[in-house]
Amino acid sequence: MHEVDMTKCLLLSMNEWRTRHEPAVPTVDTVHLQVGAFTCVEPDQLVFTWQAAVRGSWLDGARLKIEPVPLVGRCVVCSSTYAPSAEQGYRSPCCEHPMEEIESGRELRIRSVDYTLTSTPLTVASAS
């Protein structure tokens, strides 16, 4: 369940982002994440731990929306892109070359935040 630790890291980043708007307080509607297929993160577990972690904090009610990013490799022999699979040993189907370059799939990115600004003082989510 390292998604719990991932969520803690995410909350730290969100707290830091919140301070950019001081003295106004942002009310967050949705946090958009990109999660690549070639990472150790299970999106459903991340959403589950997020919901538990934000309860009672300034992010209470904020949704976490995850955009999955597929694994795309680039064959270094012929430069074409392909969808690597474990069954094919991640090799490129065009040239049977090992997966040297990853075009996408390693993303763990906070892409954007949808929010409104209010002036109500709220408490900061604890990351501990």
Partner 1 sequence: MHMPLEDTLGLNLLAANQHQAEHNRAHFDAWSLLCLNVMSSPGAGKTSLLEHTITALASDLEMAVLEGDMTTQLDAQRLEAVGVPVIPITTGRACHLDAAMVSGGLSLLQQRLDPASLDVLWVENVGNLVCPAEFEVGEHRKVALLSVTEGDDKPLKYPVMFREADCVLITKTDLLPYLPVDLQRFEAHIREVNPRCTVLPVSATSGDGLEAWYRWVLSSCAALRADPSPCVLVPA
- Give contact residues for partner 1 (rule: CB under 8 A): 1-2, 5-6, 8-10, 12-13, 17, 26-27, 29, 33, 35, 38-41, 86, 89-91, 98-100, 108-118, 127
CA distances from 99 to 18, 51, 68, 78, 88 (A): 40, 36, 20, 13, 11
Could you tell me the smallest distance in angstroms from the CB atom of residue 19 to partner 1? 13
**Is 59 exposed, middle or buried (CB count within 10 Å of its CB: 0-12, 13-18, 19+)?**
buried
The CA distance from 48 to 64, in Å, is 9
Could you tell me the smallest distance in angstroms from the CB atom of residue 75 to partner 1? 12
The CA distance from 85 to 105, in Å, is 12
Could you tell me the smallest distance in angstroms from the CB atom of residue 5 to partner 1? 7
Nearer to partner 1, 60 or 107 (CB): 107
Nearer to partner 1, 17 or 48 (CB): 17
| Token pair recorded at residue 103 | 């075009």
Could you tell me the smallest distance in angstroms from the CB atom of residue 20 to partner 1? 8
Residue 78 contacts residue 94 (beta carbons within 8 Å) = yes
